[in-house]
Amino acid sequence: MNTKRKLKTLTLREKFNVINAVKSGTKKKDVAAHYGLPASTLSTIIKNEAEILQRYESSSNLSCKRRRLAEFPDLEECLLTWFKQCRDKNISVSGPILREKAEEFSKSLGHSSFRASNGWLVNFKKRHELVFRKVCGESASVNKEVCDEWINELQSLLKDYEPKDVFNADETGLFFKCLPDKTLNFKNEKCHGGKHSKERFTILLATNMTGSEKLKPLVIGKAKKPRCFSGFKTIPLDYDANKKAWMTAEIFKGWLIKVDKKMIMEKRKILLLIDNCTAHNIIPPLKAVNVKFFPPNTTSKLQPLDQGIIKKFKSFYRKEVVRKLITDMEQESASSINVLHAIRMTDKAWRSVSMTTIANCFKSCGFSRPQEEASEDPQEAQEPDMNVEPDWNRLQNIEVQFEDYVTCDEGLATTGTLTDAEIIDVVNQHTDDDNVDENDVENTDPADFEPVVSNKEARAAINTLRTYIERCDDIEDRVFSSLFELEKIIDKKSANCLNQKKITDFF
C-alpha cells in the first residue's frame, strides 16, 4: 500500500542554502536527499533562483515558508522602518503602540480603508519576525581595560584567518562639493542636516589588514538617479541613495550580502570587524563572512580605519579637488563638482591609499602582522606624491591651511533617526523614477554634463596616451597591459556597432 508523501516546505533561508549548495558543485540528488526534497521540487527552486535571491536580500524574515503579501506594503514599510529605529534606541514597543502608529501612517498615506486590528497585528509580526532586543550599548569614555581585553580576544580570532582575509569596514561623511574657500563654512556643520546637506556623501570603506585588497567603496548620495548619470552604464564604485545620504540598516545588509557572495565565489572565509552603530544592527545569515563588533565606544582606539586610513583617503580626495580647480583656472572655465566628478575622485583617492599606510594602521590597533607579510612590492607600497603645497599656493585668497580643508567634514553624521515625514518620503522615493540630483537641476550648464564619446574618438585618445607614455622613463609593463585591455573594450564595442548595422547602410 502506497503511503502519501508528506509535503515538505522549505523556509526562505533553506531555499537560499539549497541554491548555494547546487552552485558550489554538490550533486543535485545529494542536495535533494539532504533536504528531503523530490527532484521536481528541487528543479522548481533552481528555476525560481532569481526571485528567491531577490526575496532573500529584501526580506526581514528568513524563516518564512510562504510569501505573505501585505495589503498596504508602503504602510508596512514605513511602520517597519519606524519600529527598527525604536529598537535601535532600545525603546520598548508594545502591540497597542504598533497599532496606533500604523493608524497614524495610514492617515498620512491616504489609506482610509486600513484598520489596525488584532488580526492585522498578528500577521504583521509573522511577516516581519519582530524581535525586541538590545542591539548596541554606549559608554561614556574609552575604557583602557576594555581595549586591552579586546586586543587579547583579537589574537585568538586572528589565528583562524590569513592576514589577507581580515577586514575592517567603516563609514565616513564627505562634503564632496566643498571648495577650499568654503572650508570655514562647512567646518562648522556637524549636524545631521542643514544648508550643506545636499552636498554630502556617506562613504563605506573596507580593506584587509595587509592593504592588498581594498573593497569597492559604497557611496550613498541623496538622489537615486543623479542627472549627471544620464547615459552612463558603469561607474567605478557602488552607489545608493536616500533623502539624508545616510547609511541605513537595509543598505548595510545589502552590502554585506554582496560581499558574502563575492567571497563565496572566491571560495574564501573572511573576518569582518565593524563598529556597533545602529545602521549595523541587521546581520543577515552569511556563509563566507564572519562579522564581529568592536566594543562600544572604542573605535577611536581600536578601529584601523579611524587611525589614519580615512584621513589619508580624504587628503587624496581634497588634492584631486585642488587639481581640478587649477585645471579649470588654466582653461578659464567655471569650476563645479557634480556627483559623477566626485565619484571619479573618490575612486582615485581610495586607490591611492597605499598598502603601507593600511598595514601600519592595523598594526597600531593590535593586529599582529606575520613575518611573511612584512616584505612588500616597493612599487605597491609607494604612496603617491602628497606634496600639495605648490598647487595650494596657486590658489589665491585662501585663509585656511590644507590640513583644515582635509578635516572640514570631520565628525559628520553618517546615520541617524528619521522623522515620520522623512520615513514616508524614503518609502515613496523607492517608486520615484524621475528622482534626480537637486544640485544638478539647479545648475543646467551644459558644461556639467559629459559629452558622448565615439569609438573613433576613444581610439584616438588611446593612441595619444600611448605616445605620451612611450616618451616617459621607467614605465611598468602593467601600464601597457592596461592600454591593451582598454583597446579590447573599444574593439568589442566597435564590432557590436558593425553587427547592428543593416546591409543597406553600406549602399
Comparing 84 with 473, the larger pLDDT belongs to: 473
Give tens-digit pLDDT for 184-200.
Answer: 666 655 544 455 556 88
Lowest mean per-residue pLDDT among 74-88, 144-158, 424-438, 447-461: 424-438
Position 118 confidence tier, pLDDT thresholds 50, 70, 90: confident
Contact criterion met (CB below 8 Å) for 219 and 239:
yes
Residue 211 confidence (pLDDT): 95
Q: Taking 80 as the threshold, does the pLDDT of residue 140 lie above it? A: no
Q: Taking 50 as the threshold, does the pLDDT of residue 445 lie above it? A: no
Name the residue with cell 584631486. Answer: 320
State the Cα torsion 236-241-244-247 to the nearest 10°: -70
DSSP for 181-194 reads GGHHHHHT--SSSS
Strand partners, 308: none
Give tens-digit pLDDT for 164-173.
Answer: 999 999 999 9
Residue 257 confidence (pLDDT): 94
Position 63 confidence tier, pLDDT thresholds 50, 70, 90: low
Q: What is the mean predicted confidence (pLDDT) over 261-272?
A: 95
- C-alpha 368/C-alpha 247 separation (Å) is 30
Q: CB count, 10 Å around CB of 63? A: 11
Percent of the chain whose pLDDT exceeds 70 = 77
Contact criterion met (CB below 8 Å) for 72 and 114:
yes
CA quadruple 289, 295, 300, 304: dihedral sign: negative
Position 153 confidence tier, pLDDT thresholds 50, 70, 90: confident
Position 442 confidence tier, pLDDT thresholds 50, 70, 90: very low
Position 268 confidence tier, pLDDT thresholds 50, 70, 90: very high
Q: What is the mean predicted confidence (pLDDT) over 74-97?
A: 76
Strand partners, 172: 203
Give tens-digit pLDDT for 7-47.
Answer: 667 777 788 888 888 887 788 888 888 888 888 888 888 88
Q: CB count, 10 Å around CB of 23? A: 12
Q: What is the mean predicted confidence (pLDDT) over 376-388?
A: 54
Contact criterion met (CB below 8 Å) for 124 and 78:
no
Contact criterion met (CB below 8 Å) for 448 and 338:
yes
What element of type H or E holds 496? Answer: helix 477-500
Residue 266 confidence (pLDDT): 94
Position 426 confidence tier, pLDDT thresholds 50, 70, 90: low
Q: Taking 90 as the threshold, does the pLDDT of residue 466 lie above it? A: no
Position 325 confidence tier, pLDDT thresholds 50, 70, 90: confident
Residue 64 confidence (pLDDT): 56
Residue 68 confidence (pLDDT): 57
* Greatest Cα pair distance in the chain: 95
Lowest mean per-residue pLDDT among 191-200, 231-240, 325-334, 392-401: 191-200
- C-alpha 289/C-alpha 269 separation (Å) is 6
Lowest mean per-residue pLDDT among 125-129, 241-245, 317-321: 125-129
Residue 205 confidence (pLDDT): 97
CA quadruple 279, 280, 284, 287: dihedral sign: positive
Q: Taking 80 as the threshold, does the pLDDT of residue 135 lie above it? A: no
Percent of the chain whose pLDDT exceeds 90 = 25
Comparing 269 with 433, the larger pLDDT belongs to: 269
Q: What is the mean predicted confidence (pLDDT) over 289-304?
A: 89
Residue 251 confidence (pLDDT): 92
- C-alpha 278/C-alpha 171 separation (Å) is 12
Is the pTM of the predicted complex or chain greater than 0.85?
Answer: no
